[in-house]
Amino acid sequence: MRQLNQRSPGTIRSAEVGIKRIKAAGVVLIAVGILALGVGRISYTVHKEVVTIGPYQTPVETRRIIPLRPFGALSILGGLILVVGGKRVQVLRRPRRL
């Protein structure tokens, strides 16, 4: 008769796979964050014609900038939380030997 505290081998393996996926997602987030910190920003230009009177047109070019540094910092922080949290869950879920 199985005790309530024991888990079947299938649930232990699936938990280990889940922990590995969490760690892998954390590593990917850290890599994306480092890349975003390295690039710093993305800029692009929007062309828009404001006034058109007959053959005369007045185009306006607006340059827009998207800062990536805050997203990079948050990505690194989230990745570290996932990696450290994955290790912590692994320590808490160790199977007990009877």
Residue 30 pLDDT: 95
What's the predicted TM-score (pTM) here?
0.63
| Distance (Å, whole) CA 73 – CA 50 | 38
Which ranges of the chain have pLDDT less than 70?
Answer: 1-15, 87-98
Map tokens 């796979």 to a residue. Answer: 17
First to last CA, the chain: 14
Q: For 11-45, give the DSSP string.
A: HHHHHHHHHHHHHHHHHHHHHHHHHHHHH-EEEEE
